[in-house]
């Protein structure tokens, strides 16, 4: 067994044991945002596209799943699928528009489109406006496992996260992922090598949006409601922050970043009130100015330096 | 007609803000996410000046943009200048963080509810134009914004300083080699852009309730305006800003539910038809 496999098995064991040591709902929240950030990282870290509108997919996943379960009475797993599918379709629509521009314009276009989604959720009749969509039942998994117990739901959420993480890992390490990296490093060159760059970018965008929707739907299930906060541009910024803080373009960076941010928010929320935004903003500024590689990126760089010195 | 007028007022704010964004983008190659926060700061400084120091509207109209401009220069010197060699996206991220900090500080100090700021006595009341009633203040906002926009256009396109500025945008190294202090010009440009945002903020203070969140609502719409217009030309951003304000006003009259989203829909259409923006150049 290679060292890498061992490390993943250890992490999985830690994930399985976590609810016995930490409040499960908090860990579930971390897992949902970790999946969100990993999906986002596929786009920012591996394709070099900065989307400032990923909250739209997260929010759509949450709202559609919530409405499918509460309004249409779909079983839980189908509700999650509906939310994910809605995010995928939205991702395809927004992706086709946004990839027409690059760089800063790409960021502005995604932000503006996401703001449109926010206004739609604010005004649409089924979303409950400012109150959000509340009281969504968790239901049962395949009619067998009662998900209203936190511990059962926890393992379901862990499985969803593991699946999403595996999918992203496979994508990054596939030939397709290599082409994405080539686009990130040098787009004109990728074009000149004969790759249909627009198609690859769009596919990466759709995968990222789909998994963001899955993360949003899962988060809705954990908290039993979907709110406007999920679709607000602050959430888009938050996922950028998690990814950068953890280390963009690293497999584990987003997981670390989201754990730090969610724990921090959880600890600080009742102590400093609205100053949380100031702290988040300051972390943002410090990250951009001082350590752009992020936590995991710095660790990797340090490790390489040490190994390099020995050799 | 009233809605159309209100649209023009909103359009003036869009124009001044997108102009500031375009000027900063031209010189620094970054999108200033903090623009909305600076706009909010302008409005808040005017309100605070009146509340704590008794500074009236007219003085505030000069002092608040100056303060915001100096604040912008401090940001540029202490933070932004380290990012010029990196990917442009870092500038966007940094200013996003700054926007969160500024907004959070004001929210913490004053809460999210709006503070009223009254229209100066000289501009209260209005004209009766026969077919509609035009409040003086709205007319003033439109005129003042147009004047500032025109002044900026004139300064950049027709003066010697503006020629240096355009040269530095085109080729900073060569311009520096001719003995022009480019870093200084970059600093002043950011300060000027920030001051423009602050000026729009003071203009907006009596129209909109002064609240810490007023900037972020507006700036995303302004981003859409910038995408629609393209940042290639100054006149382009002014015209796009005004035009979209009017379209928003008309939509509000015909189908109010869509007034918040119409600008974004137009942006999507423009991206489909002419991805570089109405006044943008194809790369």
pLDDT digits 0-9 by tens, A259-311:
999 988 888 877 777 788 888 888 888 888 888 888 888 888 888 888 876 54
Q: Is B96 in Cβ contact with A284 (below 8 Å)?
A: yes
Rounded to whole angstroms, the maximal C-alpha distance in chain A is: 65
For Cα atoms A162, A165, A166, give the angle at the middle one, nearest 5 degrees.
Answer: 85
| Domain annotation covers residue B283 | no
| Domain annotation covers residue B278 | no
Alpha-carbon distance A242 to nearest alpha carbon in chain B (angstroms): 12
Region of B207 (left: φ > 0; alpha: ψ -120 to 50; beta: rest) is: alpha
Eight-state DSSP code of residue B49: I
Cβ atoms of residues A237 and B96 within 8 Å: yes
Confidence at residue A311, expressed as pLDDT on a 0 to 100 scale: 45
| Domain annotation covers residue B200 | yes
| pLDDT tens digits, one per residue of B237-273 | 888 888 888 888 888 888 877 777 888 888 888 878 8
Q: What's the whole-number mean pLDDT along residues A133-147? A: 77
Chain A residues with at least one Cβ partner in B under 8 Å: 50, 52, 97-98, 100-101, 103-105, 107-109, 111-113, 115-116, 119-120, 122-123, 233, 237, 240, 244, 273-285, 287-289, 292
Confidence at residue B216, expressed as pLDDT on a 0 to 100 scale: 84
Q: Whole-number mean pLDDT of chain A?
A: 86
Cα B33 to its chain centre, rounded Å, is: 11
Q: For residue B51, give the CATH number of its domain.
A: 1.10.3470
Q: Does B76 touch chain A (CB under 8 A)?
A: no
| Domain annotation covers residue B145 | yes
Residue A2 above 90 pLDDT?
no
Q: What's the whole-number mean pLDDT along residues A229-235? A: 85
> Who has greater pLDDT, A239 or A140?
A239
> Minimal Cα distance from A100: which residue of B?
B275
> Who has greater pLDDT, A83 or B137?
A83
Q: Does B109 touch chain A (CB under 8 A)?
A: no
Q: How far is the C-alpha of A66 from the C-alpha of B222, rounded, in Å?
A: 32
Confidence at residue A7, expressed as pLDDT on a 0 to 100 scale: 81
Of the candidates A119, A284, A292, the beta carbon closest to that of B260 is on A119
Determine which of A132-146, A237-251, B87-101, B178-192 has the lowest per-residue pLDDT on average.
A132-146
pTM assigned to the model: 0.87
Confidence at residue B283, expressed as pLDDT on a 0 to 100 scale: 47
| Domain annotation covers residue B228 | yes
Q: For residue B259, which residues of chain A lie inside 8 Å, CB to CB?
A: none
Q: How many domains does chain B have?
A: 1
Confidence at residue B281, expressed as pLDDT on a 0 to 100 scale: 65
Domain that holds residue B108: 2-273
| Domain annotation covers residue B175 | yes
> Minimal Cα distance from B229: which residue of A?
A105
Confidence of residue A74 (pLDDT cuts 50, 70, 90): confident
Confidence at residue B112, expressed as pLDDT on a 0 to 100 scale: 78
Task: Give CA separation, A16 vs A154, A156, B51, B120, B248, in Å.
Answer: 9, 11, 57, 65, 53
Q: Which of B75, B221, B223 to mutate to test the interface with A (most CBs of A within 10 A)?
A: B223
Residue B134: closest CA among B143, B142, B125: B125
| Domain annotation covers residue B282 | no
Residue B157: closest CA among B51, B37, B22, B40: B22
| Domain annotation covers residue B279 | no
Q: For residue A111, which residues of chain B lie inside 8 Å, CB to CB?
A: 220, 223
Confidence of residue A161 (pLDDT cuts 50, 70, 90): very high
Confidence at residue B130, expressed as pLDDT on a 0 to 100 scale: 66
Q: Does B99 touch chain A (CB under 8 A)?
A: yes
Give every residue of chain B whose pLDDT is below 70, as ranges.
1-2, 129-131, 232, 280-283
Tokens describing residue A47:
């394709």
Confidence at residue A57, expressed as pLDDT on a 0 to 100 scale: 94
Q: Is B275 in Cβ contact with A278 (below 8 Å)?
A: no
Residue A13 above 50 pLDDT?
yes
A-to-B residue pairs, Cβ atoms closer than 8 angstroms: 122
Of the candidates A116, A281, A285, the beta carbon closest to that of B104 is on A281
């Amino acid at each position: 067994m290679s060292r890498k496999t061992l490390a993943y098995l250890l992490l999985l064991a830690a994930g399985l044991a976590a609810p016995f040591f930490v409040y499960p709902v908090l860990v579930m929240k971390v897992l949902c945002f970790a999946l969100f950030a990993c999906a986002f990282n596929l786009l920012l870290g591996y394709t070099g596209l900065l989307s400032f509108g990923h909250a739209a997919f997260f929010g759509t996943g949450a709202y559609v799943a919530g409405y499918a379960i509460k309004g249409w009475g779909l079983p839980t797993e189908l509700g999650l699928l509906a939310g994910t599918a809605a995010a995928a379709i939205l991702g395809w629509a927004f992706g086709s528009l946004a990839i027409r521009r690059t760089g800063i314009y790409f960021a502005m276009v995604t932000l503006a489109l996401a703001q449109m989604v926010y206004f739609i959720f604010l005004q649409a009749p089924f979303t409950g406006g400012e109150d959000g969509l509340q009281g969504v039942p968790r239901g049962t998994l395949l009619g067998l496992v009662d998900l209203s117990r936190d511990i059962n739901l926890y393992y379901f959420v862990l499985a969803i996260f593991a699946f999403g993480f595996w999918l992203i890992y496979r994508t990054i390490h596939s030939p397709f992922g290599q082409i994405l990296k080539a686009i990130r490093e040098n787009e004109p060159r990728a074009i000149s090598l004969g790759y249909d760059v627009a198609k690859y970018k769009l596919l990466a965008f759709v995968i990222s949006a789909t998994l963001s929707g899955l993360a949003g739907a899962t988060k809705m299930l954990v908290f039993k409601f979907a709110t406007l906060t999920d679709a607000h541009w602050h959430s888009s910024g938050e996922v950028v922050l998690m990814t950068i803080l953890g280390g963009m373009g690293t497999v584990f960076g987003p997981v670390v970043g989201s754990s730090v941010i969610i724990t921090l928010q959880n600890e600080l929320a009742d102590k400093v009130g609205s100053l949380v935004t100031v702290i988040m903003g300051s972390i943002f500024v410090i990250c951009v100015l001082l350590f752009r590689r992020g936590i995991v990126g710095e660790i990797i760089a340090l490790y390489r330096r040490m190994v390099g010195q020995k050799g | 007609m009233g809605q159309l007028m209100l649209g023009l007022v909103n359009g003036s704010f869009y124009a001044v803000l997108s102009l500031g964004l375009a000027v900063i983008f031209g010189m620094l190659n970054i999108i200033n996410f903090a623009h909305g926060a600076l706009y909010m700061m302008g409005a808040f400084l005017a309100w605070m000046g009146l509340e704590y120091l008794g500074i009236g509207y007219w003085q505030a109209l000069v002092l608040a943009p100056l303060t915001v401009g100096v604040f912008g220069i401090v940001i540029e010197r202490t933070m932004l200048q380290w990012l010029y060699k990196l990917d442009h996206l870092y500038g966007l991220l940094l200013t996003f963080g700054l926007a969160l900090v500024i907004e959070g500080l004001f929210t913490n100090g004053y809460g999210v509810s709006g503070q009223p700021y009254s229209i100066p006595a000289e501009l209260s009341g209005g004209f009766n134009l026969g077919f509609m009633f035009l409040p003086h203040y709205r007319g003033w906002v439109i005129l003042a914004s147009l004047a500032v926009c025109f002044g900026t256009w004139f300064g950049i396109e027709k003066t010697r300083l503006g020629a240096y500025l355009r040269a530095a945008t085109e080729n900073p190294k060569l311009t520096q080699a001719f003995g022009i202090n480019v870093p200084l010009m970059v600093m002043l440009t950011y300060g000027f852009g920030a001051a423009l945002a602050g000026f729009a903020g003071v203009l907006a203070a009596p129209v909109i309730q002064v609240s810490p969140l007023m900037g972020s609502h507006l700036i995303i719409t302004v981003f859409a305006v910038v995408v629609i217009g393209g940042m290639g030309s100054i006149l382009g951003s002014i015209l796009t800003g005004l035009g979209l304000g009017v379209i928003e006003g008309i939509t509000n009259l015909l189908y109010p539910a869509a007034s918040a989203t119409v600008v974004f829909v137009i942006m999507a259409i423009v991206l489909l038809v002419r991805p570089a923006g109405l006044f943008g150049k194809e790369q």
